[in-house]
Amino acid sequence: MSSTSSQRAVYARIRSNPRFAELVSKRQGFATLLSVIVLTIFYGFFMVVAFTPNVIGQRLSEGSYVTVGIAAELFMFIFFWVLTAVYVKRANGEFDDITTEIVRDAAKEVK
Amino acid sequence: MLARLNVLLLGLLAPALSFAGDAISATEKQPLNIHAIGMFVVFVGMTLGITKWAAGRTKSAADFYTAGGGITGFQNGLAIAGDYMSAATLLGLTAMVYGKGVDGYIYMIAFFAGWPIILFLMAERLRNLGKFTFADITSYRLNQSKVRTMAAVSSLTVVCFYLVAQMVGAGQLIKLLFGLDYTIALFVVGALMMVYVTFGGMVATTWVQIIKACMLLAGGTLVMILAMSQFGFSFETLMSKAISVHSLGEKILFPGSLLPDPVTALSLGLGLMFGTAGLPHILMRFFTVTNAKEARKSVLYASGFVAYFFNVILLMGFAAIIIVGQNPEFFEGGNIGGKIIGGGNMVAMHLAKAVGGNLLLGFLSAVAFATILAVVSGLALAGAAAISHDIYARVIRQGKATETEELRVSKLSSVALGIVAIILGIAFEKMNVAFMVALAFGIAASANFPVLILSMYWKGLTTRGAVVGGYSGLVAAVLFVLFSKSVWVTVLGNAQALFPYDQPALFSMPLAFLVTIIISKLDNSAEAQAERAQFDDQYVRAQTGFGAAEASAH
């Protein structure tokens, strides 16, 4: 799996490009933020289930069968999926455009 | 025999579920189900046709392992969703909502929430660094022989345990749904799996999975719509009726026995989330797409389908409380509230029959069979890749094997795995194999995942750390499960479990991380320095995809 010397030259050029550092910090920051949101909500919900299970079965309004638990879970299904859509949109658009540009520049200079 | 099928099916689903074993009954052989067999024969005919077509396109190793990297994000999304929505999901989770209400829904969100994390933290790097197996990534800058051997050993362990659990579940389920003999069922599943994998490789395996996912989504949706039409499509009407007739009453709205304590809750969450991210047959799917863009899209589609289907199952389960639970036709001796005919896992099937007659029942049974077939094929392919690509080509032949030789070994391995699966399936027929899935998830989360994620994120990882850490995760997961109630008490017949929890991940996973990190930090050998130095290039490739494996020509 070792890379060729021309590949290594390209990797070195990419690393020295400030746009690369910008791409990595932007994308990693965004991915980390979204992960923290998902993990916090998910484990928060699990803590409620574990410690105060009575809250889960409480109804949102009198005479309705939609409970806190059902509403929270439906919200998580939808919200987490929307977050994946948001990430895919930004990563496949903005981030990939920067990536293509960085790789093209580096490959050109090495040749 | 009694109570085993439920434990087993739920076990297929996930380890933490074995508590629900009380709800269920026997796996008696049912009369031959003609509709189901007819529709299954159509499915098999179709998939064999695809396998023939796929065989013509499977020429290189890349074709065999990853369908030439030419699968689109949408197709791969369906295939991943197919891997995730097993027969156990359909039957076990419907039965769980039917029996315990909202507990089933809580379980489903735990099953779902791992996907966004896989997307944010792993999908892109997996695609940019990997080629055929995840060991390509972990061994990228480390010692090929040692790291690949470790990865292959833990992959094969995961695959074997998972395969046996699936095979035993398959035999029992087919006996129930089709009225076929257990052994015959195993041979049918094993033989078809060998044909798909050996001749059609990843192309056939993916398409079998896609077709099955579509059938499952369509079948589930149809049953749900027909069932909901009886309640005027009103969730309120459905729930008020369900609560008024269910023996637990209002309690179906509250968490029950699923998550008795915070440790179990956390361990379940961790095990499902990171176990999924360490399953070799799931990871392999990320190498079948063209590039990182498509890898991300596949997670988007997969998680969309999974989320949708879980909500369909929730409605099916609640509707079954009224439609199945109040109909004497589905109880032994017509005794409502007594034993359900065929056992609790038949609830989804009974619901199909109640709302759509024998035709819909036959369709859903065929879907369940197809599902098992597709899942075992994916597992066998992942196992074959570990043997041929990692152990044979890279360790034994040190990278000098020709593509033809490697392909021959991978096909032989698929056949061998099929035979092993049939033999073990027969050997374990009478055993409670629920612990095997606990083990598979535990090992995936403890041996595969820590080394994989550290290899992508941490410069300091060295061969020594990865190997010692990986093996300690593997051994710890095996020991924790061995000493847990599900093996030590249930299987081995001891009085008291030595380890109080059924799910090892909360303990074995941090241990693996800790050992890997400490050993790596202490490693100051020349090799270790060289390995750290190579991280920077790997990092650029992981981030940009420059130098990544390309899709093959066709």
With H, G, I as helix, E, B as strand and everything else as coil, classify residue B116: helix
Q: How far is CA B388 from CA A15, B212, B310, in A?
A: 35, 27, 36
Query: Which residues of chain B does A76 touch, with a Cβ-Cβ cutoff of 8 Å?
Result: 109, 112-113
Domain enclosing residue A15, as ranges: 5-110
- Closest partner CB to B544 (pick from A45, A91, A103): A103
- Split at pLDDT 50, 70, 90, the class of A3 is low
The model's pLDDT over B210-254, given as tens digits with 9 standing for 90+, comes to 999 999 999 999 999 999 999 999 999 999 999 999 988 888 888
pLDDT at B29: 64
Instruction: State both tokens at B380.
Output: 């066998």
Asked if B362 and B38 count as a contact pair (C-beta separation under 8 A), the reply is: yes
Instruction: Quote the CA–CA distance of B47 and B370 in Å, as a whole number.
Output: 10
pLDDT at B486: 78
Instruction: Quote the CA–CA distance of B134 and B159 in Å, as a whole number.
Output: 14
Instruction: Quote the CA–CA distance of B306 and B220 in Å, as a whole number.
Output: 12
Instruction: Quote the CA–CA distance of B1 and B11 in Å, as a whole number.
Output: 15
Interchain CB distance below 8 Å, B303 and A38: no
Q: Specify the DSSP element, H or E, that contains B184.
A: helix B182-229
Q: In terms of Cα–Cα distance, which of B551, B545, B553 is closest to B72?
A: B551
Interchain CB distance below 8 Å, B250 and A77: no
**b/e sequence A10-34, b meaning 16+ C-beta within 10 Å:** bbebbeebeebeebbeebeebbeeb
Instruction: State both tokens at B277.
Output: 């991210």
pLDDT at B8: 41
For B345, counting Cβ atoms within 10 Å of its Cβ (0-12 exposed, 13-18 middle, 19+ buried), the class is buried
Would you call B530 an interface residue with chain A, using a CB distance cutoff of 8 Å?
A: no
Asked if B351 and B320 count as a contact pair (C-beta separation under 8 A), the reply is: yes
Query: Which residues of chain A does B249 touch, with a Cβ-Cβ cutoff of 8 Å?
Result: none
User: What part of B 286-305 touches A (C-beta under 8 Å)?
Assistant: 292-293, 296-297, 299-300, 303-304
Asked if B130 and B287 count as a contact pair (C-beta separation under 8 A), the reply is: yes
For chain A, the domain total comes to 1
Q: Taking chain A, what is the end-to-end CA distance rounded to the nearest angstrom?
A: 23
pLDDT at B1: 36
Instruction: Quote the CA–CA distance of B287 and B291 in Å, as a whole number.
Output: 8
pLDDT at B22: 32
Helices (H), chain A: 5-16, 18-51, 53-56, 68-90, 96-110
DSSP state for residue B31 in the 8-state scheme: P
Q: How far is CA B547 from CA A1, B59, B141, B489, in A?
A: 10, 23, 14, 51
Instruction: Quote the CA–CA distance of B538 and B543 in Å, as a whole number.
Output: 9
Closest residue in A to B131 (Cα) is A1
Asked if B290 and B38 count as a contact pair (C-beta separation under 8 A), the reply is: no
Q: Which amino acid is at B203?
A: V
Contacts of B119 (CB under 8 A, 6+ apart): A84, A87, A88, B296, B299, B300, B303
pLDDT higher than threshold 60 for residue A58: yes
> Which residues of chain B are modeled with pLDDT < 50?
1-26, 553-554
Percent of chain A residues topping a pLDDT of 70: 95
Instruction: State both tokens at A22.
Output: 């910008």
Would you call A9 an interface residue with chain B, using a CB distance cutoff of 8 Å?
A: no
The structure tokens 């969730």 sit at B235
CB atoms within 10 A of CB B452: 27
CB atoms within 10 A of CB B240: 15
Q: Which amino acid is at B201?
A: G
Q: How far is CA A38 from the centre of its chain?
A: 9
Query: Which residues of chain A does B541 touch, with a Cβ-Cβ cutoff of 8 Å?
Result: 3, 11
Contacts of B503 (CB under 8 A, 6+ apart): B15, B16, B264, B267, B268, B271, B438, B441, B442
Looking from the CA of B212 toward its CB, the CA atoms found within 13 Å total 35
Q: Which amino acid is at B100?
A: K
Instruction: Quote the CA–CA distance of B546 and A17 in Å, as a whole number.
Output: 14
Q: Which amino acid is at B427?
A: A
φ and ψ of A67, to 5 deg = -95, 170
Asked if B90 and B336 count as a contact pair (C-beta separation under 8 A), the reply is: no
Would you call B449 an interface residue with chain A, using a CB distance cutoff of 8 Å?
A: no
Asked if B326 and B245 count as a contact pair (C-beta separation under 8 A), the reply is: yes
Cross-strand bridge partners of residue A59: A67
Instruction: State both tokens at B42.
Output: 């159509």
Would you call B497 an interface residue with chain A, using a CB distance cutoff of 8 Å?
A: no
Would you call B254 an interface residue with chain A, using a CB distance cutoff of 8 Å?
A: yes
Domains of chain B are 4-55+62-433 (1.20.1730.10)
Furthest C-alpha separation in chain B: 75
